[in-house]
Structure 1
């Protein structure tokens, strides 16, 4: 009897597993060498079906945890069956200024690590980013375009003369005319369409066309411009609005619906 009570006592005293042993997800980052990233699984996933993925590069001084909790990012991926991946930059700042930044290799490693943990639909890997993260997303798309199904960026670009040896097929961008943090790169005559000149040139696009005008939010007008006469069926869209530096509500969801051919 005494021996049995001693066994029960020892079992009750056994410590629980440390936090580092928990499965990563949500606010708990996934560790990758000395770096980390966060993930957010979609609603109603059955646990076995291959998952479309959207990898989002965060803004300056943010981190992956910010992205998965952002009311205009994760809320758009969850109901669409898309897993959100949010890598964290070293010192919370992406190194996108040079043509071949080291963070491209880090992003590759993140995608490989995710694929080792979950079934990933390799034909549906989307890249997005906001502000500094948008510039990093452009760099990644220029280097790994054959691996991604679409690029969606907000309020951030790289120099429009940047060489793009391996572009994606589909690009979506939105930018504010009054953005003071990462100014819209205008062309001659203050041409706002210069914001996507890199893609239009790389894709050898024809004339663009305005498809609609609408309010992107209260007192902020937006114009949608589409270039769909490009080489190899490629497409570029640009939403220019009269506001500043922000992520428009539902913009990411709308682009995902278009890229994924969802109703």
Structure 2
């Protein structure tokens, strides 16, 4: 019962963290102004790699920006980071969790919104269309799973974090392409249980079950596990890197299993007191943004074949 209540009440959040305020840009989609924040390295122009960062439930964009170091990675490596904002604070990632448009004018189409956002970034000469990546955490991780199913042909790689799949998502998932995947989850996540959970409207699959779903699609028969060295000897958590091998589909699938980690993104940053216990606690085993970019950087969409 406790697992059900935390799943339903929180669905599915990362803890708000005070962040830097920035005036967002907007564009109209479905008759509604949709907001996003664009972080660009200073003094650079022209199409660049873009990471789309999807926030958690009711998490302000500024708080999500502050919860990882992707902006710093962007400044050092010359990429852009885009932070779209969900309507009503949550992503419309599945038909089991619809989000109404303002004024009872139908339902939010967030897959269409992300598609339209990519079109705008490309038309504005911000994004290299072959090097657009998505990373989402918690509720944003659920949206990232949906994008892996619904629009992988537009994304060079996808990283759903601290989030398994909803069973309904898996049942409706027939991807036109298997995008490279980086998955990260903590085994002691108290909000979005690593072991899965039941809610009135749906079943949350466990993280191992979610990974097995994608392993079957890739038809992989091999597995490599490597325990990563500890960054801080006093950190009670540990990171295990899992990679699938001998796959019929060559796109990589990588998993960071954070043993003892909770419902937050690992970082080397010193722990605030409130990060030690809520949601299972934050791990200091890996720097999430750096691992994401290390995975994303060499990947691009395959070139279209001549007709």
TM tier relative to shorter chain: 0.7 to 0.9
Q: Distance in 2 between matches of 1:126 and 1:112?
A: 14
- Equivalent residue number for residue 39 of structure 2: 40
Partner secondary structure for residue 136 of structure 1: helix
- Equivalent residue number for residue 80 of structure 2: 83
- Equivalent residue number for residue 245 of structure 2: 228
- Equivalent residue number for residue 289 of structure 2: 252
Q: Distance in 2 between matches of 1:206 and 1:163?
A: 24
Deviation, structure 1 residue 219:
1.6
Question: 1:215 aligned to 2:210?
Answer: no
- Equivalent residue number for residue 194 of structure 2: 184
Q: Is contact 1:152-1:255 (8 Å) kept?
A: yes
Q: Tell me the alpha carbon deviations over residues 56-93 of structure 1, each in whole angstroms, 9 at most, x when there is no partner.
A: 11011013333344443322333222211111001111
Q: Distance in 2 between matches of 1:157 and 1:219?
A: 23
List structure 1 runs of 4+ shifted beyond 4 angstroms.
none
- Equivalent residue number for residue 164 of structure 1: 173
Q: Distance in 1 between matches of 2:72 and 2:164?
A: 24
TM-score (norm 2): 0.68
Q: Distance in 1 between matches of 2:130 and 2:296?
A: 12
Deviation, structure 1 residue 51:
0.6
1:130-169 matches, within 5 Å, as 130-159=137-166, 161-166=170-175, 167-169=177-179
Larger Rg: 1
Q: Distance in 2 between matches of 1:139 and 1:52?
A: 21
Aligned pair in 2 of structure 1 residues 72, 119: CA closer, same or farther (>3 Å)? closer
1:11-50 matches, within 5 Å, as 27-33=22-28, 34-45=33-44, 47-48=45-46, 50=47
Deviation, structure 1 residue 110:
1.2
Match of 1:66 among 52, 63, 66: 63
Partner secondary structure for residue 56 of structure 1: strand
**RMSD across aligned positions (CA):** 2.5
Q: Distance in 2 between matches of 1:42 and 1:194?
A: 39
Partner secondary structure for residue 75 of structure 1: helix
Q: Tell me the alpha carbon deviations over residues 100-127 of structure 1, each in whole angstroms, 9 at most, x when there is no partner.
A: 9721011111111222223421111101
Q: Tell me the alpha carbon deviations over residues 17-73 of structure 1, each in whole angstroms, 9 at most, x when there is no partner.
A: xxxxxxxxx81211112211111013552x23x210111110110133333444433
Task: Indicate the structure whose relative CO is greater, using CA pairs within 8 Å and at least 6 residues apart.
Answer: 2
TM-score (norm 1): 0.79
Match of 2:90 among 88, 93, 111: 93
Q: Is contact 1:179-1:243 (8 Å) kept?
A: yes
Partner secondary structure for residue 62 of structure 1: coil
Q: Is contact 1:184-1:195 (8 Å) kept?
A: no
- Equivalent residue number for residue 238 of structure 1: 255
Aligned pair in 2 of structure 1 residues 126, 193: CA closer, same or farther (>3 Å)? same
Partner secondary structure for residue 164 of structure 2: coil
Partner secondary structure for residue 206 of structure 1: strand
Q: Is contact 1:55-1:127 (8 Å) kept?
A: yes
Q: Distance in 2 between matches of 1:43 and 1:196?
A: 38
